[in-house]
Structure 1
């Protein structure tokens, strides 16, 4: 009886992860605000854009999109792998990767995204070396 109770507590404790995945979804809202703020900041600072400024702006947008994609992937795949399957109606679109990314695949995707994000950050630093002196 005690063993069964412990197993049930452990099994249902996976639902404690659900608020964490919801928090990642709220992180998407924060990234969306940052994305829009970058647009307004870029277009409000000056009327003439140098190629360096434009490149840095585009790299910043790519960086935000990669982070948002990473959040989405971790939230959906993590929820499906550790909490519960997401049930869809017949007419709803479902990305091909959903339901197929296991924990090992998720780790590889996260590592790949982190490498891409880090590369973009390094490129931004390289292009913006004048402001670090």
Structure 2
């Protein structure tokens, strides 16, 4: 019976590698976002002389939005892989290794995730306000409501983290 239990535990432990293709899929998502970023930059420069100041600001905010999403994907890929699949032992002494890598736990990851979502939502809301003439009051109300929901969710996550004694 002990052999069956040990074998089952090894199977469960090995199943963590099923997450590896998911993290590779996030790498592919970053490639898609990079193409979108290039398209946005190209469009921004193509209309630099004819675009209004508001249109340029919206274009730049779109670039910031994509950069935030890509940064979030990096954090999720690195910390998720190291927390749930395998340590990146060969990279511990790499000169370009980020300082936070290997130090973000699941709780920290949740806080960073909700913080990024709030920032992305805020940028989307700012872009909407820059283009307010094309929005209905109902649409704008939904956007503000969703942003406030994300904001309060982030505050609650941070409070729960601090209460549980894991806050820094």
Q: TM-score, with normalisation over the residues of structure 1?
A: 0.93
2:130 paired with 1:127: yes
Q: What is the match of residue 42 of structure 1? A: 44
Match of 2:54 among 52, 57, 75: 52
Is the deviation greater in 42-51 or in 26-35? 42-51
2:100 paired with 1:97: yes
Q: For the residues of structure 1 that align with 2:34 and 2:94, how far apart are their CA atoms?
A: 27
Task: Between the two structures, name the one with larger relative contact order (CA 8 Å, sep ≥ 6).
Answer: 1
Shift of 1:54: 1.2
Residues 110 and 100 (structure 1 numbering): CA distance in 2 closer, same or farther, change over 3 Å? same
Structure 2: stretches of 5+ with no match in the other structure:
137-168
Match of 1:77 among 67, 76, 79: 79
Question: Are the equivalent residues in 1 in contact too, given 2:16–2:84 (CA < 8 A)?
Answer: yes
Residues 125 and 100 (structure 1 numbering): CA distance in 2 closer, same or farther, change over 3 Å? same
How many pairs are equivalent?
133
Say what the alpha-carbon RMSD is for the aligned residues.
1.4
Superposed CA deviations along residues 29-49 of structure 1, whole A, max 9, x for unmatched, are 001000000011222246233
